[in-house]
Each structure stands twice: as structure tokens, then as C-alpha cells.
Amino acid sequence: MKTKFDTNEVYHSSPGISASGLKTIYKKSVYHFLNQKPFESSAMALGSAVHCAMLEPELYYKDYHVMPKIDRRTKAGKEAYAIEQKKAEGKLLLAFDDHNKITKILENFRNHDLAQKYCKGEIELSHYKKHENIEVRIRPDVLNKIENFISDVKTCQDNSPAAFKRDVYKYGYHLQAAFYSDMIGLPAENFRFIAVETNYPFSVEVYGLSSEMIEQGRKGWKRAFNDWKIYVETGIVSGYIWNEFNEDGSLIL
């Protein structure tokens, strides 16, 4: 396995199937993965900023410019906004309200010893290898080879156990946990999610996965990987992963 200090942009433009790609194949199909469009939402942008603030705080003000609240309807406001735009050159803009949310998240994070423990290690290193002669890539938020764990920060609306468990299944987080652990060679039982609420009271909680969820995730990534491998080797683009079909090829619900 090759490990590199590269940027997020370099990682995402590199060859090889990733956990996010396998999740798309698992939830949809190879066809959907190959035809997906780049997508960025305000929630995703906030999540990226939270990741930076929690895992690489030294880069937060280097990479982000906090845009103060400015009334751009006035001449003075327009001038002030232009000044702020110039200050922000080369940086990502972060709304003042989002910065306040992150400040409150960090307060809770600093008071959560377990969350802090699982945010210490090698931060966002890119790993590249071949699995069954197919290129794969992974980029764990945190990898700690001394204490044998991988962790991942997830922002969410509700980080209560019941709600976050639904998110695990909805977004395929269990697939990601098993895939990362299997590729690195660490026990998936040691994988931890740091679930961070982006709503008041901005709670921070740490979760591991049950043996049942890990096994489901492992079966999921292997099944999706097999469809991807078939595509790489034969060019055949599979449709939905499903269990039951009629003789005519239609899916049985």
C-alpha cells in the first residue's frame, strides 16, 4: 500500500474505487456511479469546515475566511464586502453563522475526552493499493496504528443513538467502516464515528458498530466491489443490485 500526503483534490481525481464509490454502487448501481454529477451543498461545505476545525485546527484560518454579516444594500456595505472579498482571495468563504456553529461544536468537542482521543493520529492521509488486482483508494479522517483504530467525523442533524443508526444505514457508513478497516488491516470493531450535531446544542458523541452491522457493511462493500470489478475487467455496466428477478429479467419487489 502506498501512503501519500496529498490534497483532497488530488485524492478525488486519482484512479481507483473509493468507499464513496462503493456506497453509490451498493445503494444504486455501477451505472449510477459512472453517471453521477459533482455535487456540493451548504451542509457538505459546513461538514468540511467542521472536519478542518476539529482535525486540523492550524489550517482553519489559513483555508477559510469568515465572512462577517454585512448589509450589502448600502454603499458602505458594498465597500466593506469588497474588502472582505479581497481578504478571502485563495480561501474558502465561511458564513459568520456557520463559524459560530463551529465555535460551539469545538467547545463541546474539547470537553469530550473520548472524542478527542479518537481524533489523534495520522490525519487524512491518502492510501492507494490494489485489491484483487483492482485499484482502490481510501482516505481515513484519522488512522492511529499505535492504538489500532480508524475514526471518521460525521456531521448530522441529530446524533442520538437511534437517529445516527438510521444515518449509518441510509448513507452506508457501515460499508465505509468495514472497507477502510479491511483495506488497512485493522479490526472493524475498533472503527469509531465521531457524530457531530450541526444544530443546537451541537452535541458530540462517539459510536462504534455492532458485529451485525460490521458484517452487513462487509458484505455490502464486497458485493459492490464485485460489480465494479466486473465493469473494470469486462466493461459490463450492471444495474441495481437486487436479490430476486423474474425469468424475463424484471426485478421482484
pLDDT in tens, 99-110: 999 999 999 999
Query: Average pLDDT of 119-143?
Result: 97
Backbone angles phi, psi at 25, to 5 degrees: -65, -40
Is position 159 within any domain? yes
Backbone angles phi, psi at 8, to 5 degrees: -60, -40
**pLDDT band of 150, cuts 50, 70, 90:** very high
- Residue 95 scores a pLDDT above 90: yes
Is position 83 within any domain? no
Is position 90 within any domain? no
∠ at Cα 52 (62, 26), nearest 5°?
A: 140
pTM: 0.91
Query: Average pLDDT of 126-143?
Result: 97
- Residue 39 scores a pLDDT above 80: no
CATH number at residue 150: 3.90.320.10
Query: How much is the pLDDT for 251?
Result: 86
Query: How much is the pLDDT for 243?
Result: 80
- Please, are residues 178 and 138 in contact by the beta-carbon 8 Å criterion? no
pLDDT in tens, 72-88: 899 888 899 899 899 98
Is position 253 within any domain? no
Query: How much is the pLDDT for 244?
Result: 86
Per the prediction, the chain carries an average pLDDT of: 94
Is position 135 within any domain? yes
- Residue 6 scores a pLDDT above 80: yes
- The full length of the chain comes to 253
**pLDDT band of 27, cuts 50, 70, 90:** very high
Query: How much is the pLDDT for 40?
Result: 72
Domain count, the chain: 1
Is position 77 within any domain? no
Residue 196: domain span: 2-41+98-234
Is position 66 within any domain? no
Query: How much is the pLDDT for 221?
Result: 98
Is position 191 within any domain? yes
